[in-house]
A and B are shown apart, each in its own frame.
Chain A
Amino acid sequence: DVKVTQSSRYLVKRTGEKVFLECVQDMDHENMFWYRQDPGLGLRLIYFSYDVKMKEKGDIPEGYSVSREKKERFSLILESASTNQTSMYLCASSQGLAGGRETQYFGPGTRLLVL
């Protein structure tokens, strides 16, 4: 079974803090993704990566950055957290054989509250 783990289930941070969300997958997948999920808005893609040290902007990259130094790990960074970044953050990975046309496997999510 594919396993995608996220470093925290719940996180509380203060406005202006730098926040790191970590995601690790154990299936040697090429692709990794970060989404945020908000009520009534569904899942929105923040950033994705097709290879180590490679990143692509998604639909809502503003206020976020990412890092992929190792194939199995994809980090989402909030350089200066703001209250409008309070959300559920979901990480996903996929095999990478079919571009975006393949199953993505999701982690359990990190619920971030920015005060």
Chain B
Amino acid sequence: GESVGLHLPTLSVQEGDNSIINCAYSNSASDYFIWYKQESGKGPQFIIDIRSNMDKRQGQRVTVLLNKTVKHLSLQIAATQPGDSAVYFCAEINQAGTALIFGKGTTLSVSS
């Protein structure tokens, strides 16, 4: 069945380091992926998305990499700041193309 998972439930980094959050997906036909950030007490917020015809997409301080060969997605955050501390979710489009399937989330903790 469809499933989206993250390799690590938690990640701790020092302020200023680069962070890499990983995600594995199971549906090789998925053509759309998205990353969300959820801060404590808030709903998830969109970070960046990518379609399967791309390998890489960059935003402000964030980069998403897509490796379709091994069905792997990663989110890279440059110069991580304390404000980046949150739970990060990856999601992929379902087989019907109608809804997103979310992973279990990775909690990023940034220490000063």
Interface residues of A (CB under 8 A from B): 4, 33, 35, 40-45, 48, 50, 56, 58-59, 90, 92, 99-101, 103-109
Number of inter-chain CB pairs below 8 Å:
60
Contact stretch, chosen from B13-21, B44-52, B77-85: B44-52
Asked if B100 is at the interface (CB within 8 A of a chain A CB), the reply is yes
- Could you list 26 examples of A-B contacts with CB < 8 Å? A4-B43, A40-B9, A41-B104, A42-B104, A43-B89, A44-B102, A45-B99, A45-B100, A45-B101, A50-B98, A58-B99, A90-B43, A99-B98, A100-B32, A100-B93, A100-B94, A100-B97, A100-B99, A101-B51, A101-B97, A103-B49, A104-B46, A104-B100, A106-B45, A108-B41, A109-B42
- Bits for B73-112, please: 1 = Cβ < 8 Å to A, else 0: 0000000000000000101011011111111110000000
Interface size class of B (residues with CB under 8 A): 20 to 34
